[in-house]
A and B are shown apart, each in its own frame.
Chain A
Amino acid sequence: MKISLFATCLSDAFFPRVSEAMARLLARYGIRLTFPEGQTCCGQPAFNSGYWVEAKEAARRLIDAFRDSDYVIAPSGSCISMIHHHYPALFRDDPAELRMARELAEKSYEFSQFLVGVLGVSDVGARFPHRVTYHPSCHGSRLLGVKDEPLTLLSHVRDLDFVPLPFAEDCCGFGGTFAVKMADISAAMVTEKADHVRETEAEVLVGLDMGCLMNIGGRMRHRGQAVRVMHLAELLYEGVRMADERA
C-alpha cells in the first residue's frame, strides 16, 4: 500500500510546517507517507487564468509522480478539487491521458476528507484550549464537497472553544491570480473577511487551504489584528502533542 503526500507548491515552498504536521499526525495511525519528488504544482494558477497548455504541463508531472501511489493526500481542498474537477476538462481530448487523470482523481484526498472519510477518525485525541473559528475555503467546500469533515474533527478537540465565523462561506477574495489582477476588489473582500474574524474574538483562525489562510492572515497581520492562523493539520497535531504532554 503506497500512500503518498502531495505537499502542494504553497506548503512546500512557503509553509512546510503544514505538510509536516500532516505527516506526523498520520504517522500516529500507522500511515507511512511517501513523497514522490517529481511533484511540483497542480496547475491551478495557470488553469484559472486560462493558460491550459501551461496547466497541462503541471498536471502531467503530478499524474506521473503519483502513478503508482494507491492514495494521494494533500493539505489543500483547492488543489484536490483541481484534480477532481478540472483535470478531466484539461485532458478531455486525449483518452489515454484522460484515463490517467481520472485514476489520479479517484485516489486523491484532501487531508480532512482522508482522515474522516477513509480512516474513519473523528477524534484525534487532541486538546486545544483556545477560542477558534473556521473559514471553509470555497473550492474545498463547494466543489469538492468537504463541509462536515473539519467541523467533525474540531468538535472532538477537548477544551476548544469553537465560534462560528459569520458569513463563513463567503469567499475571502484570494482566487489565486485574482488577488493580484483585481487587487482592489480582493482587498475589499479580504477586509470584510478579516472584520468577520474580528467579530468572533477568536484567537485562532483555522482552515484547510493555505492560499486563503495566507490571504486572510496577511490582511490581519498588515493591520495588526493578532490572530494566529493555522491549517487544521497543524492545529490537530499541536493539540495531540498537548494532550500527550498532559497524559
Chain B
Amino acid sequence: MSGHNPTSTLAERVRIALNNDFLRNAVRFTTERLRTNKQAAAEQIGNWEEWRERGRQIRLHTIAHLDYYLAQFAENLRRAGGYVHFASTAEEAVAITLQIMAAKQAKSVVKSKSMVSEEVHINQALEEQGIETVETDLGEYIIQLAGETPSHIIIPAIHKNKAQVAELFSEVAGEPLPADTAVLAAFARSKLRGKFLEADIGMTGCNFAIAESGSIVLFSNEGNARMVSTVPRTQITMMGMERILPSWEDLEVMATLLPRSATGQKLTVYMSAINGPRRTADGDGPDELHVIIIDNGRSRQLGDPEFQEVLNCIRCGACLNACPVYRHIGGHAYGWVYSGPIGAVLTPVLNEEKEKWAEVANASTLCGACYEACPVKIPLHDMLVYIRRRNVEEGRTKRTERLGMKTYKVAVSSHRFYQLALKLGRIGQKPLVRDGQIPTRLGPLKGWNNVRTAPALAERSFRESWQALERELQQEMAEMSPQVKARLEELAGKRGDRHEQ
C-alpha cells in the first residue's frame, strides 16, 4: 500500500515521487488547471480580497469561541433527534464507529469523501471486522481499488492518469475498458449503484456544521454524498471539531470561497444540508443519524498563538494547487493523510510523535504561494518556520546543522569575525575555483552542484572595495534635486511623528 508509510523517510518518499513521471505529469497537469481556474474565479468575483478577509474573520471568530459553538451545535442536533459523540483520539473515533456498526449488525458501508475518516483510518478498521466498505466518490473509489490513500485533499486520485484508472477498472470489470472518462465514470456509477441500495450504513464527512441549527452541510460534485446520506437506514458522519460555522449567513461566505478556491467553480454542484434524521413527513433520509466530533490533536492548538489559526482551514486544497513543491512530489511524499503546505503544517502539529514527523515542515521553500492562495489567509509559511523553530528548541535537528548554525552565529556576531570568515573561505576555496565558479560535488556543495555550479567568493568583498568606491563616487556625485530632497525629508519626518505619539 502506498501512501501512509511511516517506515520510510521523507527523503525516500520524495525520491520515489520524483522518479515517477506519470505522477509528476498528472499532478502538474491537474494542479495547473485548478489554480488557473481558481484565479479566473477570483478575478471574476472582483473583490476577492474582501471575501478572503470576511472568510478569515468568520473563521477566527468561530475558532476563538469553538467551545460555545460546538455545544450549541450538539444541543441543536440532539434536539432534532441526532446522536452526538465526542472522540478525543482517532482510536476513540474508530471504537465509537464500531460500536454503532455492532448495534446495527452492519455488514456493509458506503462512504462519501471524508478526509477525517482517512485520518482515523476507519476503512482499515472496518475491513478488519469483515464489514464491506465502499468509497463512492469517484476519486476515492479509484484509490481504494489501487489500495492507496488520497494524495490530494479534494482530488484524491490526482496522481493517476486515465490509462491507469482504466487498468484498475478493467480488472474489476473483468474486461478491458477504454481510457475514456465518460465510459469509466459510467462503469463506476453502475458498480456503485448496487452498493448504495445494499448498504446498512452510510458514512459521510462534513464540510461545515452549522451551530445555530445543528445541521451538517456537505459539498459534492458527484451527488454521491446525497445518496450516502439518504439511502442507508443509518448514517454516521465524522467531522473534525473545527468544522463548525455559527450561522447560515456564515455559510454563504464559505459557499462563495470554497468551490472557487478548490476548483474555480462558482458553486458546488450539490450542496446538501442535513438537519437530523428522517422525520415522518420526510421522503428519505436515515432513521438514525450519528455525528462523531473528532479532536485528535486539534484542541491542543487552541490557545497556541502560533498554531490556533490552522484550525481555520476549510480544506479547499488551494494551497496544494499553488505549491511548487507539491507540484513536483505529489501528496504521498508528505507521508500522512494531509499533503501540500497545509499537510506540512498539520502533520507535525496534530501528531504526537514529533520526532517522526519533524522533517515534513522542511518540505517548503517558504515562498508564500500557499498563503496567497488560501481563502481564509492562514499564514502557513510562517507556521512552517514555527515548527522548524520548535524542532530546533526541542533538539530534533541534525548535529551537523546545529554546528553549522553555531559557526554562523559567531560569524555574524561581529563584522570582524565575518570578515575573517570571508578571508578563510577565500583561502579554502582557492584550489577549487574554476573560472569564478566552484564545480566540486564534495561536502555540503554536493546537493547544490549536482545540477548547478556554485559561485566562488569574490576576490574582493564589497566592504573591502567600499572606501575606493566611495572616493570615486564623491567625484561623480550629482546634485540632489529639490523634489527628491523634499520627498526624503517628508517621509523621514512622518516616521518621527509616529514615534513620538
Taking Cβ atoms with an 8 Å cutoff, the residues of A that contact B are 1, 3, 7, 9, 11-16, 19-20, 23-24, 27-33, 35, 37-41, 43, 45-54, 57-58, 61, 70-71, 86, 89, 103, 106-107, 118-120, 138-139, 142-143, 169-171, 173-175, 178-192, 214-215, 218-219, 221-223
With contacts A13-B457, A103-B499 known, is A30 near B368, CB below 8 A?
no
- Beyond A52-B389, A179-B447, A222-B453, whether A28 also contacts B415 by CB under 8 A is no
Contacts of A184 in B (CB 8 A): 11, 14-15, 18, 447
A12, A35, A39, A180 pick with most chain B CB within 10 angstroms: A12
* Least Cβ–Cβ distance between B484 and chain A, in angstroms: 6
Whether a CB of chain A sits under 8 angstroms from the CB of B48 is no
Which residues of A sit under 8 angstroms from B451, Cβ to Cβ? 187, 190-191, 219, 222-223
Give the distance to chain A from B381, nearest Cβ to Cβ, in Å.
8
Partner of B411, one of A32, A40, A182, A215: A40
Inside 8 A of A175's CB, which chain B residues have their CB? 364-367
> Which range holds the interface residue count of chain B?
35 or more
- A193: min CB distance to chain B, Å: 9
- Given A13-B457, A222-B452: A57 and B413 within 8 A (CB)? yes
Can you report 9 residue pairs joining A to B where beta carbons are below 8 Å apart?
Answer: A14-B458, A15-B455, A28-B476, A54-B408, A142-B371, A171-B367, A171-B369, A180-B448, A184-B447
**Which of A31, A39, A47 sits near B480, CB closer than 8 Å?**
A31
The reply to whether A30 and B452 form a contact with Cβ atoms under 8 Å apart is: no
Q: Is B473 an interface position by the 8 A CB rule?
A: yes
Tell me the complex Cα distance, A7–B365, Å.
23
Extra 5 A-B pairs, beta carbons < 8 Å, given A50-B388, A221-B437, A221-B453: A9-B412, A12-B463, A16-B461, A29-B481, A61-B413
**How distant is the Cα of A190 from the Cα of B325 in the complex, in angstroms?**
11
In the complex, chain A residues whose CB is within 8 Å of the CB of B444: 180
Residues of B in contact with A (beta carbons under 8 Å apart): 11, 14-15, 18, 324-325, 328-329, 362-369, 371-372, 382, 385, 387-393, 397, 401, 405-406, 408-409, 411-415, 418, 422, 425, 437, 444, 446-458, 460-463, 465-466, 469-470, 473-474, 476-481, 483-485, 487-489, 491-492, 495, 498-499
Enumerate chain B residues within 8 angstroms of A103, measured Cβ to Cβ. Answer: 495, 499
For the complex of A and B, the 4 pairs showing the least CB-CB separation, nearest first, are A183-B447, A30-B480, A175-B365, A50-B388
Residues on B with C-beta less than 8 A from A31 are: 480, 484
Alpha-carbon distance A7/B464, docked complex (angstroms): 12
Cα A45 to Cα B404 in complex, Å, equals 11
List the B side residues contacting A178 at CB < 8 Å: 362, 364-366
For the complex, give the distance between the alpha carbons of A24 and B465 in Å: 13
Q: Closest CB-CB distance, B479 to chain A, in whole Å?
A: 6
| Minimum Cβ distance to chain A for residue B3 (Å) | 19
- Please name all residues of chain A whose beta carbon is closer than 8 Å to the beta carbon of B389 when the two chains form the complex: 50-52
Which residues of the other chain, B, contact A53 by a CB distance below 8 angstroms? 409
A50, B325: Cβ atoms under 8 Å?
no
